[in-house]
């Protein structure tokens, strides 16, 4: 390690390892030796042999005397302190897990409700979008282009009908006013026809912005 470099602090132990690790003994706690098999609680030392015989015949009572804080040897209580601390910690963790479980259930229910609401909004949006598409269909580029082509064909037919009416006639001579009226109508029809055809040509050449 280079001189002057900062020492890297040690990483904290994983939480799972800390929970599974055995409790560390308290270095300041007094060391108590096991009294051995010959030790008896003070409460039974003055008992008669018959009482002791009755006591030894009941293992559950012996276990209670050995585990009770009032009758057990101090070394037993000292040995059980780490276990009691671990039990208390497990109880606290279990309580915390219960709280988290309740929160998780609440969040899951809230998320489920929001998900159902989102799906309902998606269905409504698809329906609205379908209605919008149907309403805008006549104004789509393809529909407008088709309508323009139909308009050109219709206007061409109007011009031909005017030409045929002029050529066929009824055998009489048209007055100057009638001729002027026909010329005006024919000129207007051709003007509309060429205007529409020019628009279509511009569209075909890609000179109509936003439609190609």
Q: What does the domain layout of the chain look like in residue ranges? A: 44-131, 140-204
pLDDT for res 57: 85
Instruction: Identify the pLDDT of residue 38.
Output: 62
- Average per-residue pLDDT in the chain? 80
Q: Kindly indicate the confidence band of residue 1, based on its pLDDT and cuts at 50, 70 and 90.
A: very low
Q: Give the CA distances from residue 189 to residues 30, 159, 167, in Å, rounded to whole numbers and listed in that order.
A: 118, 6, 17
- Residue % of the chain over a pLDDT of 70: 76
* pLDDT tens digits along 120-154: 999 999 999 999 999 999 988 889 999 999 999 99
140-204: CATH architecture: Orthogonal Bundle (1.10)
Of the pLDDT bands very low, low, confident and very high (cuts 50, 70, 90), residue 26 is low
How is residue 13 annotated by DSSP? P
Confidence at 52, pLDDT banded by 50, 70, 90: confident
* Cα dist from 176 to 36, 79, 211, whole Å: 145, 132, 46
């Amino acid at each position: 390690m280079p001189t002057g470099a900062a020492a890297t602090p040690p990483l904290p132990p994983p939480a799972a390892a800390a929970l599974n690790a055995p409790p560390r003994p308290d270095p300041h706690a007094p060391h108590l030796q096991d009294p051995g098999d010959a030790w008896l609680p003070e409460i039974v030392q003055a008992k008669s042999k018959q009482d002791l015989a009755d006591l030894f015949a009941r293992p559950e009572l012996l276990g209670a005397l050995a585990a009770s804080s009032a009758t057990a040897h101090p070394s037993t209580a000292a040995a059980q302190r780490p276990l009691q601390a671990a039990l208390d910690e497990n109880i606290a963790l279990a309580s915390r897990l219960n709280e988290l479980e309740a929160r998780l259930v609440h969040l899951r229910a809230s998320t489920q409700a929001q998900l159902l609401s989102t799906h309902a909004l998606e269905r409504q949006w698809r329906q609205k979008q379908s209605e919008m598409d149907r309403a805008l269909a006549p104004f789509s580029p393809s529909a407008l282009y088709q309508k323009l082509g139909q308009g050109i064909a219709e206007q061409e037919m109007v011009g031909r009908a005017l030409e045929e009416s002029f050529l066929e006639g009824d055998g009489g001579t048209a007055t100057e006013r009638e001729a002027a009226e026909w010329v005006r109508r024919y000129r207007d029809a051709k003007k509309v026809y060429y205007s529409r055809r020019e628009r279509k040509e511009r569209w075909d050449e890609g000179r109509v912005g936003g439609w190609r």
